[in-house]
Amino acid sequence: MKIKFRIFIDDRFYYWGFMRDEGQLDFYGIPVFHLSMEEKQARSQQYTGKKDKQGTEIYAGDKVQVKYWSYSKDMSVGIVKWDMQDACWEIEWISGDVYGPTDMLDMASVLEVIGHIYQEAHG
């Protein structure tokens, strides 16, 4: 079992997490940076445990697209987020013809990761 995270620092992602090996939970990854532990926790994005239709791992904060309705001309684009109230991964749609949050687990195999939330802020 692996619990994986990533953090975006200096225009790239660094990966870290926890791995269960022979009954023990071991920490791996993340180099030491100038950020406090609170900042690292706030900026880290968790792996959802799912991959998109291309086999790319889907993380919180990923920008995804899907042609949601067969009659649609346009792709719908959304951001993957953790819903604390319903305790599930969901997609918050930002464009296209889908409205309201959607449970991501039902759609992972038809989604395509097209970016992440830091791309707009960092070009």
Chain segment 40-49, per-residue pLDDT in tens = 777 889 999 9
What pLDDT shows up at residue 121? 46
Residue 16 confidence (pLDDT) above 60: yes
What pLDDT shows up at residue 122? 41
Burial string for 65-102 (b: 16+ CB within 10 Å, else e) reads: bbebeeeeeeebbbbbbeeeeeeebbbebeebebeeeb
pTM score, whole prediction: 0.79
